[in-house]
Amino acid sequence: MDRSYLTAIEGIGVLSAQVVLSEIGTDMSRWRTEKHFTSWLGLCPDNRVSGGKILSSHTRHVINPVADALRIAATTLERNKSALGAFYRRMKGRLGPASAITATAHKLARLIYRLLKHGDAYVRQGMDIYEQKYRERLIHNLKKTAASFGFQLTETKELAQGVS
């Protein structure tokens, strides 16, 4: 598999793809799942639990050139008009810049794992489709929460058109 597969992902340039492939290669059999892969990269939370209580959930400090390349690739998505760019901006508003970079790098690592492990083609998703799916997910969750309290949500014509 050549690096052109990886450069199809927004944010992943030729140099990032070269770093990824030179460090991990194309054989993904070393990691059973993408969770193992992202843990090896140090891009997922390391939950320290004692007595059933989570003491810490920060990411582990791992010296890994691939993780560094993915973090740099994540920062390039700040003004990108794609689903990954919208994800980064949403996480930045919710978690702050540092955690948003890690969350987006984690998402990029999962995409790379799927590309290299299964040979799936990367399908670009536009920002509009991402925002529409996010809005539908929010509305579904609101309706479910309202139903648990015995209420029913209905969408008004003014809000459906975007006029408040």
Q: What are 70-86's pLDDT values in tens digits?
A: 999 999 998 988 889 99
Least confident of 2-16, 75-89, 132-146: 2-16
1 pLDDT exceeds 70?
Answer: no
Give a yes or no: residue 70 inside a domain. Answer: yes
Q: Are 114 and 120 in contact (CB under 8 A)?
A: yes
Least confident of 16-20, 22-26, 95-99, 154-158: 154-158
Percent of the chain with pLDDT over 90: 45
What gap in Å lies between CA 151 and CA 131, rounded to an integer? Answer: 26
What gap in Å lies between CA 93 and CA 17, rounded to an integer? Answer: 28
What gap in Å lies between CA 73 and CA 17, rounded to an integer? Answer: 10
Range of the domain at 30: 6-125
- The arithmetic mean of pLDDT across residues 151-157, rounded, is 83
**pLDDT at position 2, please?**
47
pTM greater than 0.95 (yes/no): no
Listed as own residue / partner, the contacts of 44-49 with beta carbons closer than 8 Å and 24 or more positions apart are 44/106
36 pLDDT exceeds 60?
Answer: yes
7 pLDDT exceeds 60?
Answer: yes
Q: What is the DSSP letter of 48?
A: E
- The arithmetic mean of pLDDT across residues 17-37, rounded, is 90
> Angle of helix 83-95 relative to helix 127-148, nearest 10 degrees?
50
Q: How many domains does the chain have?
A: 1
Of 42 and 121, the structure prediction assigns the larger pLDDT to: 42
Alpha-helical (H) ranges within the chain are 14-24, 34-41, 65-75, 83-95, 97-118, 127-148, 157-161
Give a yes or no: residue 54 inside a domain. Answer: yes
